[in-house]
Amino acid sequence: MTIPSRRENWVKLQRQDWLQDQVTNLRRPIWDRVTYAALQRVGEGGHARFEPGELSEAVRTVDRDGVVGTRPGDIGRDIAKAVANGGIGAGSTCRCLIVPSSVAQFGHGLPYEILCPHHKYAVAA
């Protein structure tokens, strides 16, 4: 049996319920949950946009003292881990996560390049 290359493997998800479960799954590391948040929110040109603090709130955890939340700076480190693991693309920030075209394909006649209002430059879709 020949296993297709990674670029040939893809799946279309009925995403909302299942992806939300992954985003809030406390057994997953936060960087992994960041990737699922990007997949749940992805839109035009492969960008997943968030309001200030929204991504941190979405992937919040409960610490040993029962405090819910994320420490300042943690979300940036988790985004970097998600990029390093290939789930989201370089240039991702807490306001806009980039889903690589190797992970998701987009239809409906979207242009190959769009202007991202958060990144302020044209990016490949």
What residues does each domain of the chain span? 15-124
Angstrom distance (rounded) from CA 43 to CA 88: 13
**What residues pair up with 69 in beta bridges, in sequence order?**
61
* Phi, psi (rounded to 5 degrees) for 69: 140, -175
73 CB-near residues (< 8 Å, 6+ apart): none
Q: Percent helix, strand, coil in the chain (nearest 5)?
A: 35, 15, 50
Tokens 């590391």 belong to residue: 29
Single pTM value for the model: 0.75
- pLDDT tens for the chain, 125 residues: list them: 455 555 555 555 566 788 888 998 988 999 999 999 999 888 777 888 899 889 988 888 766 766 666 665 788 999 999 999 999 999 899 999 998 877 776 555 454 455 677 766 555 54
